[in-house]
A = this chain, B = another copy of it.
């Protein structure tokens, strides 16, 4: 089935096909877009759009839609906030939320949003800092250089200016940038519809189209106790874009693996992805049964269950792509032709060994992947409380070091975000924590084996279950004040703590650092150096017709409003509100909330609800605005079709589709269902 489009990739192995690409704003293929779509994307257009686009640090995108910091994003991007604000007696997630006045807006304690204000190329400075060092030494110097640049950049802004800089590596190591952000750590919930309409169709409809979901929410960025001033924002075009019309999607795709070598793809196909999927599926089953045990369990498990099911669906289809004989052959040919081009060019030939270097590093990765994944990456130590414990323990040690010597995620530039994460008064649920911690420990025991020294130590006199019970019952980390004491007390407080989760985290940290070090020195540093060589070769061979793999940094995709052909059937690009009511059955996840049933007669049945376009997106683009040529908002991305799920590894222009909420349905819902007049008036709407 996938063979033909893959052959297309094979014939033009290094060139992007129509609509493909998650382009950086400083390398957008404006000439090509002018040619393909007849639209002139100017630097001014790009700057305006960039400043009206926000990154939601929890893993989403959004758009400013008023000069007062109002942000339009997805319902599924605020589920964690809704969970934090819900209680057993008041389930905001189920009933939805509307702040009638600004004073009623409720803070999402663990959320932050950022606006990319400047892109600064520091490739030359990083190369200079690395000098002629090689291997692990080069990796260490590179990281130190990036941390220093980051800190100096952040320090160049006034302390109260809410600015931060992040070092960004593109092409796996070919280019280095500083991204300057304006960051808002006071983010408040303005509006979210009921879960039943925000995630109508649930997991069954997720990644499917035709689709019928009002997956939207409004947040507001606040600054110094007032709504943020955001002069760059999107007007809303109520009528949306027509079929075939050009559209643009600015947002923050999380990660892709389109530039990986065969050795890396083999590892993903045979090891990493199947392992993740089986583990996640077992956890999904535990969550399902847990939710069946009581109404309260069902409430608290809804959000984590959504995340795991969403991930399974996406990665299952990704694995199908990875396992496709045509894909395997096409990536082998792509690699062979790049290698041949390198060998034919005296300047590039010395780098042709990079493929073998990656293969050797991946061979090491195979031998350390289990402990690295379970101990360092946390698959064996799951749950919110445990994650806090590990962050507290590690942050205490890292913050005592010079910035350039720290682990990346504890660099000075990242400390405020970490502090907010650890100190936010998010609720935890002992029963769920128990389930997750026990599950992780059982998988740890299974993966590392009974004879592993760490397993023997941890489970000497305990089963995973009894250990998890003792830890969850004994820890006081659920109390934000306790976490604050440990955060502010630093290394001394952490060392003195007798909290059982802190004690465990201290012990695990020793092993975890060992595997982290081996991974960085023997895998990451080799692949990073090789990727730099391969990126240089790709630039030399193909110039700027390539785009970097996604890294949760700002990108711009483009395309047209379009359905696709599925077997013998043409799938139309639009759905409407009448279709939603036809699809409703009365049983979750196809049950409409009372507000919609009551508003049935007032709603315009023919108003468009969701639509598909050819823009190249992936997870992290959720909440992205869909813009027309004038930069007006004509949709809010919330999903992709089933074919988009191979998008981690390649782009199938014929069938990969982005799915968005149409502004017609959004406006109708605000007016006819929710009576959200004030919110509606804050938007600038054009016909």
Contact = CB atoms under 8 A, between A and B. Distances in A.
A257 interface: no
Interface string A432-470: 000100110010011001100000000111110100000
A435 B587 contact: no
A323 interface: yes
A458 to B, nearest CB: 11
Nearest to A275: B316
Contact of A312 (B278, B289, B463): B278
A643 to B, nearest CB: 15
Contact of A289 (B205, B271, B286): B286
A435 B325 contact: no
Nearest to A319: B274
Nearest to A588: B463
A615 to B, nearest CB: 25
Interface of A: 1, 201, 203-205, 208, 262, 266, 269-271, 274, 277-279, 281-290, 292-293, 312, 316, 319-320, 323-325, 328, 366, 435, 438-439, 442, 445-446, 449-450, 459-463, 465, 583, 585-588, 590
> Majority SS of interface residues in chain A?
helix
A281 B289 contact: no
A361 to B, nearest CB: 15
A442 B439 CA distance: 23
Given A278-B281, A319-B274, A325-B266, A585 B286 contact: no
A324 B270 contact: yes
Contacts of A328: 325, 328
Nearest to A449: B204
A445 B285 contact: no
Given A292-B465, A325-B328, A461-B586, 16 more contacts: A201-B450, A203-B446, A262-B325, A269-B323, A270-B324, A274-B319, A277-B277, A278-B278, A278-B312, A282-B282, A282-B284, A285-B289, A286-B286, A289-B289, A450-B585, A460-B585
A567 to B, nearest CB: 8
B316 A278 contact: yes
A323 B269 CA distance: 7
A363 to B, nearest CB: 9
Nearest to A435: B289
A284 B292 CA distance: 16
Contacts of A205: 450
Nearest to A327: B270
B323 A270 contact: yes
Contact of A283 (B203, B285, B320, B323): B285
A445 B312 contact: no
A279 B278 CA distance: 9
Nearest 5 Cβ contacts at the A-B interface: A285-B285, A281-B281, A289-B289, A282-B285, A285-B286
Contact of A278 (B277, B286, B460, B586): B277
Contacts of A450: 201, 204-205, 583, 585, 590
A645 to B, nearest CB: 13
B446 A320 contact: no
Contacts of A324: 270
Contacts of A287: 285
A487 B100 CA distance: 66
A502 to B, nearest CB: 24
A460 to B, nearest CB: 7
A445 B290 contact: no
A366 B262 CA distance: 27
A214 B453 CA distance: 26
A358 to B, nearest CB: 14
B286 A320 contact: no
